[in-house]
Amino acid sequence: MITAVILSVLLVTFTSAIHFEALTFFSFFANRFIHLPRFIILSAMLFLPMVHVLEITLYAGAYYYLTDTLGLGTFSGNFTDAFSNYLYYSAETFSSLGFGDIVPSGAIRLVTGIEVLNGLLLIAWSGSFVFILMQRYWKIDGSTTHHRSTH
């Protein structure tokens, strides 16, 4: 169980750092294209899901490592030991969708619970970031406006 705790802390740390750096990068990118506000917003809507997929993949790798290498848990239900299934399970957990077709047991249950909390926070962070972009670059009537960032 201590391994699952340590791995959970590392995953939250790494995914939060990745998210922070991705948003920092995108802010720098947005400031370069301030004259193209629609492009900025559409780019954010394409970029942020890719960041989430990277974070989901880290959790999938952790599940693979915990089950196949360390033997600290198993998955039952509609699950075969293929990385695509780890990725699927991680995506449904990260997004808190939780179909329930795959059920964890053992120490990986802790990682699953932490992934739900981490995923919700990171998705909310992305949503608030897009909201700020919309406030900065989009008027209420749908026309665009140009505001310089203070960062």
pLDDT in tens, 48-104: 999 999 999 999 999 999 999 999 999 999 999 999 999 999 999 999 998 889 999
Q: Which residue has the higher pLDDT, 143 or 98?
A: 98
- Provide the residue ranges of all domains of the chain, joining segments of one domain with +: 2-137
**pLDDT mean across residues, the chain:** 91
Give the class (CATH, top level) of 2-137: mainly alpha
Long-range contacts of 28-35 (CB under 8 A, 24+ apart): 30/133, 30/149, 31/148, 31/149, 31/151, 34/146, 34/147, 34/148, 34/149, 35/146
Q: What is the pLDDT of residues 121-138, one digit of tens each?
A: 999 999 999 999 999 887
Euclidean distance between CA atoms 104 and 75, whole angstroms? 5
What's residue 150's pLDDT? 45
C-alpha to C-alpha distance for 53 and 57, rounded to whole angstroms: 6
